[in-house]
Amino acid sequence: MVFTKYIRKIWKRPKENKIYKEKLIDFRKQESIIKIDKPTRIDRARALGYKAKPGFIVVRAKIKKGTRVRTRITKGRKPSKIGTRIPAKKSKQVIIEERVAKKYKNLEVLNSYWVGEDGKSKWYEVILVDKNHPQIKNDKDIYWILEKQHKRRVFRGLTSAGKKSRGLRKKGKGAEKIRPSIRAKGGKGK
């Protein structure tokens, strides 16, 4: 078996793994967005386009689990109509990618993947690409990200998690109100 297949096998049932539990303890001590030297899940990172060369940066980010809780309104409304828990229309992964893109403005988000979760938080690692780095400009596999239509792609839902959140992986019956976009179809797609 190839080395990455062994790693993939470990990550299929991470909660049984002792190393995973130790890593979560380290994750909790760190900040919400932190730049790391190398990916935690090298198999997943490589599958999503990561290369161990200058110009590729990996960032681990944390997000709270659950829905957003809005403060309760006390002015004249019927109590049953006051919704305090509002589910997001985007996935947690997309929200994380956007937060990381706002922090690292000169880098472009390539993709992201799940690395862990506990009762309160979820952690994702986001792969970023430096568009101005000469090694990225000369790499034929990642050169496409330099084109102008990929500028700020994370905010337009063009990453893998963004497309999934927009419902673009659906085909056939039930996917009529999704293309060209949910907004174009009057918000009926979701």
Spans of all domains in the chain? 3-63+90-164
Residue 105: which of 36, 163, 152 has the closest Cα? 152
Residue 167 vs residues 126, 137, 156, 173, 176: alpha-carbon distances, Å: 21, 32, 14, 13, 11
Annotation: CATH topology of 3-63+90-164? Ribosomal protein L15e (3.40.1120)
pLDDT at residue number 184: 87
Within 10 angstroms of residue 45's Cβ, the number of other Cβ atoms is 23
Q: Which two tokens stand for residue 72?
A: 């309760």
3-state secondary structure of 36: strand
Distance CA 50, CA 56 (A): 7
Which pLDDT score is estimated for 1?
A: 56
pLDDT at 7: 77
Using CA atoms, how far residue 103 sits from 15, 34, 107, 128, in Å, is: 31, 10, 9, 11
Whole-model pTM?
Answer: 0.86
Query: For the chain, how many residues are written?
Result: 190
| CA quadruple 157, 161, 164, 166: dihedral, nearest 10 | -30
pLDDT of residue 185: 86
pLDDT of residue 160: 93
The list of the chain residues with pLDDT below 70 reads 1, 190
